[in-house]
Structure 1
Amino acid sequence: MSTTKPHVLIMPYPAQGHVIPIMELAHYLVKEGVKVTFINTEVTHKLVTSNWLNEDGFGDLMQMVSIPDGLEPWEDRSDLCKLTLSMLQTMPSKLEQLIQTINKEESNKITCVIADGCMGWAVGVVKKMGIRNAAFWSASVATLASTLCIQKLIDDGIINENGIPLNGQMIQISETMPPIKPENLVWAGFNDVATVEAIFKLLVDTKDTYRMTERFICNSTTELEPSAFNLYPQLLPIGPLLASNRLAYQAGHFWQEDPSCLAWLDQKPERSVIYIAFGSFTIFNQTQFEELAHGLELSNKPFLWVVRLDLTKESTITAFLDGFMDRVGSRGRIVSWAPQQKVLAHPSITCFISHCGWNSTLEGVTNGLPFLCWPYFADQFYNETYICDIWKIGLGFKKDKNGIVNRGEIKEKVEQLLGDKTFRDMALDIKKKVTSTVQEGGRSHQNLSSFIEWIYEEDIFQGST
């Protein structure tokens, strides 16, 4: 019988919202004695390792490696069209070469590959090499369901063969799932046709991945998405994968966290502070940025606001913020990146103004917080529908005739959300259901345990003795 540890290779899509949850999965595997090689693109690798925490606790069982994405070092990775097409052309052969190099060492062979569902091509690569494989979906299962029915959307004339929406009729994948506008499909919410077509090209093979992979695990739970899981029973909920088991020490961030805001929160009354954060991609123009600031000022509530250095491209923001902070004084705090799980778990937080990325959604839900929803692109519109219409724990903002969420709308929605106890009561009820599923005996906990047992199955070891 082999005494060699299983060796799992993990590869996320190179975006903040994909790296963090699959890194949490890596934590669980290492904790169970599994050796993990974690692959990032070269640029993502530098970002993640530069913000590595001493508390990560991976030890000798975890190694970080990188492969090129095909772009030159100086090229802009926020150009998702160029990045996606380059990855599809370059990375399959690089992944195969890396695995071949690792497998030259007999006692260190890769026994399983876990690929991000948005990198489904990787499943084809490793299946051809005779290596066990699993896919991991970091977003909502409703989003995955929309990609699994791409052919039906084409056949029904809702999108063309390049993923471009052809009409504005609402889509409902099943009677029990929330409806969605075609322009809010995960690949369709970009500003230019070329990017929509590139992302669609990346996702169009998801159905083949679903069919080929031996396990398809999801960072979600049946308590949040019963209809989506009923539609695709082969999908295994193992989420939410959060860092709460390590007191919210979270690996995989692209930016350096500013923990000083936690001491500031300690000085604020319970359930008094609005937390505002828009993830890693959202961009505001000058007008919208200033309207948000004025709305926070008018709310007369304490607030903690994450303002990334690239949240706006305008050069006048610094001067504006100086004057803004002079007016609000100690009632407000701005940081460039926050330890979000710790912030959302802090007793002083009363609500979350969010872009509704799935990670942020899960983090807010597991802390029993009501939301004010401000989606930007991709799956975030679907998540807003969950929050506002299905779970009923939040409100969305309305834009004016110029496409701006103005200061009056922000003030009004803050008052409406915080003035109605129903939102918090519903949020606390959902928190109880979701947290129970990851505890011993819960369905997600059982599925994760079974998945780890599958990794340890003896026949996974390809001829090791």
Structure 2
Amino acid sequence: MEAEENIKLHAIMIPVPLQGHIVQFINLAINLASKGLTVTFVNTQSTHLRLKKAQSFSDSSLDYNIFSEARKSGLDIRYTTISDGFPLNFDRMGNHSQFMEGLFHVFSAHVDDLVANLVNSNHIPPVSCLIADTFFVWPSEIAKKYNLVNISMWSEPALAFTSYYHMDLLKANGHFGSQDNREDTINYIPGVQAIEPGDLPSYLQDTEPWDIMHRYIFKSLEDARKADMIICNTVQELESSTISALQEKKPFYALGPIFPKGFSKSAIPTNLWVESDCNEWLNSKPKGSVMYISFGSLASISRQDILEMAHGLLLSKASFLWVVRPDITWSLESNLLPSGFEDGVKERGLVVSWCNQIDVISHPAVGGFLTHCGWNSVLESIWCKVPMLCFPIFTDQFTNRKLVVDEWKVGFNLTEGRILKRQEIAQKIDCFITKVNELSINLEEARKQLEDALSENGSSGRNCKQLICDIKYKIQQKSKSSNKTSLLSYGN
């Protein structure tokens, strides 16, 4: 076996087919390829066609390479697509439970075929590792079958990961898995001083966690325990005690924030919706005067929540840019906004169906972000030093809110509970605008930690180098083990 430094790594990378996960995987692929790795990046065919449509490509074929610009710059990123097990015209969000059952039981067969072809096709360099989204249920089985280093990519903070990792501990202590979950403070998770039950990921708060989403999430986290190593889009300094405790159990690498180089709009398409250009409108607004409002690419809210938000904005005095996705209520209703809303806000409000968030959040006119607390949004806000007004909706967003408001103090809560009320919205937005300066010192400090982490000698830079060294060492181990097994078999 050749020396570690001479091993050329070839990683298969497969994200969950969701906007926030695809963005992180694409940025990670570019980062790893820039360090000499060969990457074969895999999207589902459905996701690929959505990316093309959002870029206004009329051609419906699957042969468009989203990494063509990256390849021109010398990065060895190869691109392919795979069926998710459903027809291309199947409504995945409209039939969400059925789609998740398919990802649970069927998708792995398509991945298996793909990996088998890649491993057996004499690629140079040969495929040596699998970097799969933690929210898949099959990586350990496929990595073992093809003798690949199994790397799980976690797209949320370490605090959310350790909450799932210690599900058994939560269950044993009565904080999870029953109709009478305890509601007192949780102070026994290693590396976590204290967390309230309401700050756990939503799937760990439910009193009857047995539907397809719960089964899928819990199975994927069970599979992640078998990974050789975990990559996490976080920063060592922001979650030091949590990460240190996890590293005692499993190789765990904080590589965040995983951003496009220079925190600029990527030449690689990552958006699943057509973007509106908001620059002209933003250019007309004073510095720091606009509240950006977005609930991300996946979270849904009720029609009533939309109405309460709209009336709250009518009552407030703030200028705002509000992203209202076509599928934000799951029902694809049209005319979600109340009659006369746009006339009521006149020049101070702009509503779009989607935008490039990096472009918007980095614009000087944006002075605050009313957010669902998706992890990408949190990291982007900190990078741009934009304070957050938090309204978590589901999954890790409650945990992220705890970090933003309680730990790092770079944001405030929009509501005291989970119900939106127009008067409270208006009051909180107007009050938020007058209090943002209180958060500026903390934002400066958090931004510096992100910036320092990404420097060549910063924590994320060092962790990335260590990750590559550890992958190479693991490949050597697997090769020696494989050779030993072959010799034993031959001897028998």
TM-score by length of 1: 0.88
1:337 equivalent in structure 2: 354
Q: Aligned-pair distance for 1:364? A: 0.7
Match 1:227 to one of 241, 252, 272: 241
SS of corresponding position for 1:231: helix
Shift of residue 32 of structure 1?
Answer: 2.7
Q: Does 1:414 align with 2:449?
A: no
Distance 2:472 2:411 in 1: 42
In structure 2, the partner of 1:157 is: 174
- Compute the displacement of 1:131 (Å): 1.3
| CA RMSD after TM alignment | 3.0
Identify if the C-alpha distance between structure 1 residues 338 and 244 changes in structure 2 by more than 3 Å, giving closer, same or farther.
farther
One-letter code aligned to 2:156: A
Residues 55 and 205 of structure 1, relative CA distance in 2, 3 Å threshold: closer
* Whole-Å separation in 1 of the counterparts to 2:306 and 2:161: 32
* 2:70 is the alignment partner of 1:57: yes
Q: How many residues align?
A: 454
- 1:391, 1:214 → 2: CA distance? 31
> Superposed, which structure 2 residues align to 1:52-91 within 5 Å?
56-59=69-72, 61-78=76-93, 79-91=95-107
Match of 2:489 in 1: none
Residue 244 (structure 1) shift: 4.3
Q: Distance in 2 between matches of 1:4 and 1:102?
A: 18
Structure 1 residue corresponding to 2:228, chosen from 214, 238, 251: 214
Structure 2 residue 101 is matched with structure 1 residue 98: no
The aligned residue for residue 60 of structure 2 is none
Among candidates 251, 268, 273, match of residue 255 of structure 1: 273
Q: 1:46 aligns with which of 46, 49, 65?
A: 49
Distance 1:20 1:134 in 2: 18
**Given residue 272 of structure 1, which amino acid in structure 2 is its aligned partner?**
S
Cα separation, partners in 2 of 1:251 and 1:229, compared to 1, 3 Å: farther
1:248-397 residue pairs with structure 2 within 5 A? 248-249=265-266, 251-258=269-276, 260-312=277-329, 313=331, 315=333, 317=335, 320=338, 323-397=340-414
Write the distance in 1 (CA, Å) between the matches of 2:199 and 2:179. 6
Measured after TM superposition, the shift of residue 209 of structure 1 is 2.6
Name the amino acid aligned to 1:38: F
* Letter of the structure 1 residue corresponding to residue 183 of structure 2: Q
1:151 and 1:179 map into 2 onto residues whose CA distance is 16
Whichever residue aligns with residue 229 of structure 1, its letter is: I
Report the Cα distance in structure 1 between the residues aligned to 2:49 and 2:237, rounded to whole angstroms: 36
What residue ranges of structure 1 are gaps of 5+ in the alignment?
A: none
- What per-residue deviation string (whole Å, max 9, x for no partner) do you get for residues 309-357 of structure 1? 1223374526736x21222222111221111112111111111000001
Q: Is the 8 A contact 2:312 2:425 kept in 1?
A: yes
Measured after TM superposition, the shift of residue 461 of structure 1 is 10
Task: Determine if contact 1:273/1:302 at 8 Å carries over to the other structure.
Answer: yes
Partner of 2:156: 139
1:381 to partner: Cα distance: 0.7
SS in 2 for 1:199: helix
Q: Note the C-alpha offset of 1:178.
A: 4.5
Measure, in 2, the Cα distance between the counterparts of 1:55 and 1:345. 26
439-448 or 409-418, larger mean C-alpha shift: 409-418
Corresponding residue of 1:431: 447
Which of 13, 21, 27 is matched with 1:10 structurally? Answer: 13
Contact 1:187 1:200 in 2 (8 A): no
Q: Is the 8 A contact 2:140 2:223 kept in 1?
A: no
Per the alignment, do residues 414 and 182 of structure 1 end up closer, same or farther by CA in structure 2, a change over 3 Å counting?
A: closer
Structure 1 residues 63, 461: closer, same or farther in 2, change over 3 A? farther
Give the partner amino acid of 2:239: E
Distance 1:208 1:98, change over 3 A: closer
| Letter of the structure 1 residue corresponding to residue 26 of structure 2 | M
2:179–2:207 Cα contact (<8 Å) kept: no
What are the residue-to-residue correspondences of 1:162-181 with 2, within 5 Å? 166-170=180-184, 171-172=186-187, 173-174=189-190, 176-181=192-197
Q: 1:165 to 1:365 in 2, by over 3 A?
A: farther
SS class of match (1:9):
strand
Q: TM-score, normalised by structure 2?
A: 0.83
| Counterpart-to-counterpart distance in 1, 2:278 and 2:371 | 18
Give the Å deviation of 1:193: 5.4
Report deviation, 1:374.
1.0
Larger CA deviation: 64-73 vs 349-358: 64-73
SS at match of 2:230: strand
Shift of the 55–335 alpha-carbon distance from structure 1 to 2, 3 Å rule, reads: farther
Displacement of 1:245 in angstroms is 2.4
Measured after TM superposition, the shift of residue 100 of structure 1 is 1.3
Question: Which SS does the other structure have where 1:94 is aligned?
Answer: helix
* Aligned partner (choices 11, 34, 37) of residue 34 of structure 1: 37
In the alignment, which of 238, 245, 268 is matched to residue 255 of structure 2? 238
Deviates more, 1:424-433 or 1:245-254: 245-254
Tell me the distance in 1 between the aligned counterparts of 2:26 and 2:120: 26
Q: Which runs of 5+ in 2 are unaligned?
A: 56-65, 481-492
| 1:23 and 2:39 are equivalent in the alignment | no
Q: Answer yes or no: is the 8 Å Cα contact 1:229–1:235 preserved in 2.
A: yes
Once the 2 structures are TM-superposed, how far is the Cα of residue 83 of structure 1 from its aligned partner? 2.5
Is 2:456 the partner of 1:440?
A: yes
Describe the shift of the 1:245–1:180 C-alpha distance in structure 2 as closer, same or farther (beyond 3 A): same
Q: Would you say the 8 A contact 2:307–2:337 is kept in 1?
A: no
Equivalent residues of 2:382, 2:443 under 8 A apart: yes
Amino acid at match of 1:203: F
Q: Deviations over 1:130-163 (max 9, x none)?
A: 1122111001111110111122223233333xxx
* Alpha-carbon distance, 1:45 to partner: 2.7
Taking a change above 3 Å as real, the CA distance of residues 449 and 267 of structure 1, as seen in their structure-2 partners, is farther
